């Protein structure tokens, strides 16, 4: 299955859970969103794409509905 990757912009911090269970925020700014199977996606950000978080598509849909996440093009 081919990966689906979208360019996007976060307008507000997006909370996510780190692998160790702590909460953190993805900062506003440009990012990439890659769709995965099973209702998950990876959000990639940072000047060189050095940060990433796995999130549910439900969480991303909520950010889209609030216009906190905007896909390009």
Instruction: Report pLDDT digits (tens) over 24-45.
Output: 999 999 999 999 999 999 999 9
pTM here is: 0.91
The backbone torsions φ and ψ at residue 28, rounded to the nearest 5 degrees and listed phi first, read -60, 150
Q: Which of 1-5, 17-21, 66-70 has the highest mean pLDDT?
A: 66-70
Q: State whether residue 57 is helix, strand or coil.
A: helix
Query: What is the pLDDT confidence band of residue 1, given thresholds at 50, 70 and 90?
Result: low
Report the C-alpha gap between 64 and 4 in whole angstroms. 17
Rounded to 10 degrees, the C-alpha dihedral 39/69/7/73 comes to 110
């Amino acid at each position: 299955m081919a990966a689906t990757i979208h360019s996007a912009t976060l307008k507000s911090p997006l909370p996510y859970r780190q692998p160790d269970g702590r909460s953190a925020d993805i900062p506003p700014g440009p990012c990439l969103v890659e769709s995965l199977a099973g209702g998950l996606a990876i959000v990639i950000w940072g000047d060189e794409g050095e940060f990433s978080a796995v999130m549910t598509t439900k969480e991303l849909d909520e950010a889209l509905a609030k216009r906190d996440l905007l896909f390009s093009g």
